[in-house]
Structure 1
Amino acid sequence: MLWTPQHQFHPDPFEKEAELEVVIREVKATLFGENRIYVDVKKLIGERGKTQNIPDGYLLDFSSPKRPVLYLVEVELAKHDPLRHIAQQLLNFFLSFKSTPQRMKQILTEHLLKNPEAMRQCEDYALKNGFRNLDYLLEQMIYSEQAFNCLVIIDELEDELESILHSSLGFPVETLTVQRYQSEQGGVVYQFEPFLYDLSSQSATTVPDKGNTPAIDPAEIDTVVVPAREDGFQETFLGENRWYAIRIHSSMLPKIRYIATYRVAPVSAITHVAEVSKIEPWKDTGKYVLDFKESAKAMTPIPLVPGGRIMAPQAPRYTSFARLQKAKSLDEVF
């Protein structure tokens, strides 16, 4: 239930995928963020006579000035046996994508030509970040070795499905859950966490950034910062040279080289960092365990600033090791 002083909102499950697709179009600006373009088009990809599929859409992610990312989007309902269906569907997407990358480029180009605002955003991004033109920008997103990425939007995500999608398919799969609630008066609200929300420089702020700390480029991320209570810090982070069970975005897994710990009050500071030797799934939870190459090293404490821009981390946050080394306070880490 969602409760306000005026109304009570109860779960109103989607009956058809088309209903969820309508909601995605309605909330796309908030769901995906201002630096991303949702391409709401369904067209066949793949080689004739071989594996062919129709993705539900595409997401152009321009949040990194250095590495634009293309996601193939699959919209599903949990009641449709997603464990078997989604995994197979994404594998088929992979085969279709790799066999006909030129088809992907054609689909995206045709869509952009029909949507002047999306075209302008792409051209502005290309010009600002050193991509010669739209054609070259799309080629960088489609033909690179790490070009294939998926986004699954679903109404309910169970741990087993999340574990399989995030760690068993061999390519990055991000997930979003969107749920609908309705009041007796007919009012409707949607519950979701925006795409890669915890990568945003504004996702844990108390006051607007004055421009003193530039947003972290997702392409430069190599460090995850985890909050820890004193007993867990002593027993696990220092005692076992590992940390578990934490959620890490699928697209972040290949990037993580270091883990730092933010020790909660009364310490209220990042105090130790360790180099990561391996990352493995933690049971069937959709979470991970990070093993260290060697014991964590103490560093000059990076304190929380009371009333500052960044609030005390309540979940894993991402940054770069270079930024971590230079930071004097938490406001300069994220």
Structure 2
Amino acid sequence: MLWNKEEQYTEVPFEKEADLEEAVHFVKDALFGSTRIYLDDKKKIGQKGNTNNLPDGYLIDLTNKQDPKIFVVENDLASHQHLKHIAVQILEFSLSFESSKVKVKNIIKEMLQKRPVEWKKCEAFAKSNGYENVDYLLESIIHKKDSFNALLIIDELGDELETVLISRFKFPVEVTTLKRYQSESGKLLYEFEPFLNEVTEDTEKIDISDIDTIVIPAREDGFKEVFIDENCWYAIRLNSSMIPKIKYIAAYQVAPISAITHIAEVKSIEQWKDTNKYILHFAEPAQKIKSIPLGKIKGKAPQSPRYSSRDRILNAKSLDNVF
């Protein structure tokens, strides 16, 4: 329940996938932000005679100027779908995408042409980032290596499903949840975390294209026994689409030290046991650096993994300069 003195809101589960799709369309600006474009026309992709699929939509992500992306979107209700169905659907999307990239590009281009505002946004991005036009921008995104990304929007995400998505696929799969609440007077509220919100919070001072480091909070015993002695750090939640960018890991030692003190190069990132988390193995023992203490801005101490860059960390005077 959501409550205030005027009204109380109770959860109203989505009965049909069409209800969820309508809600995604309604909240898309707040859910995806100003640097992303959500296209929800349904067009079949894949080659004739092979795997064919009908994605629920596409998300063009223009946040990273050096690496724009396209996510193939699947909307699902947890109560209606078995884990296996969702996993198979996403796998089939990847196969159809890879086998019909020209078709995918043309479909997305046609969708944009029907939306003048979104077309102009892509046109402006292309012009300011060295692409000849929107057609060339889309072609560059779709035809580059490892271009497939999936986004699952679901009403409820259990640990089991998240673990399956981590363990089964080599390509990035982002997941976001969306719930609906209604008051007695009929007003609706929607509950969700903005897409890649953790990344957005860390890019106020640093361009997302410069991110190469994950900063983790560490207590004294875990820091000494794991970060220093085992040359790794485990049970970390990460955004799957950010994993290829992570080249370093930095340790923020919590109070009483309250500072970033060490950094290590990351050799590999793997699923942590049979969970929905990851383990980062170091290429060599962590190096001690000049301590980077808390600054004057409240709330900068990491409570969970945060994104930054190695250069920014090494040149920072305090955490105010890191995030």
TM tier, smaller: over 0.9
Find out whether 1:216 has 2:203 as its counterpart.
Answer: no
Q: Report SS of the residue matched to 1:46.
A: coil
Q: Deviations over 1:91-128 (max 9, x none)?
A: 11111111111111111111111111001100000011
2:282, 2:5 → 1: CA distance?
48
C-alpha displacement at 1:72, in angstroms?
Answer: 0.3
Q: How does 1:103-252 map to 2 (within 5 A)?
A: 103-201=103-201, 213=205, 215-217=206-208, 219-252=209-242
* 8 Å Cα contact 1:166/1:174 also seen in 2: no
Partner of 1:206: none
CA separation of 1:266 and 1:297: change in aligned 2, threshold 3 A: same
1:5, 1:228 → 2: CA distance?
40
2:202, 2:187 → 1: CA distance?
29
Q: Report SS of the residue matched to 1:119.
A: helix
**Counterpart AA for 1:63:** T
Partner of 1:33: 33
Once superposed, what is the RMSD of the aligned Cα atoms? 1.7
1:64, 1:23 → 2: CA distance?
26
Partner of 1:320: 309
* 8 Å Cα contact 2:202/2:307 also seen in 1: no
Q: Deviations over 1:297-334 (max 9, x none)?
A: 211111221236x6222211112222222222222223
2:44, 2:226 → 1: CA distance?
49
Q: Deviations over 1:150-171 (max 9, x none)?
A: 1000011111211221332111
2:152, 2:295 → 1: CA distance?
37
Partner of 2:24: 24
Q: Deviations over 1:50-86 (max 9, x none)?
A: 1100100000000011111000000001112341111
C-alpha displacement at 1:183, in angstroms?
Answer: 3.1
* 8 Å Cα contact 2:246/2:266 also seen in 1: yes
Q: Report SS of the residue matched to 2:244.
A: coil
How many equivalent residue pairs?
323
**Counterpart AA for 1:292:** F
**Counterpart AA for 1:306:** K
After TM superposition, the score normalised by the length of structure 1 is: 0.91
**Counterpart AA for 2:35:** N
Find out whether 1:305 has 2:266 as its counterpart.
Answer: no
2:166, 2:212 → 1: CA distance?
18
* 8 Å Cα contact 1:216/1:319 also seen in 2: no
**Counterpart AA for 1:112:** L
2:4, 2:167 → 1: CA distance?
38
**Aligned equivalent of 2:277, options 277, 287, 301:** 287
Residue segments in structure 1 that go unaligned for 5+ positions in a row = 204-208
C-alpha displacement at 1:5, in angstroms?
Answer: 3.5
Residue segments in structure 2 that go unaligned for 5+ positions in a row = none
Q: Report SS of the residue matched to 2:245.
A: coil
After TM superposition, the score normalised by the length of structure 2 is: 0.94
* 8 Å Cα contact 1:160/1:284 also seen in 2: no
* 8 Å Cα contact 1:277/1:293 also seen in 2: yes
**Counterpart AA for 2:136:** Y
2:91, 2:17 → 1: CA distance?
20
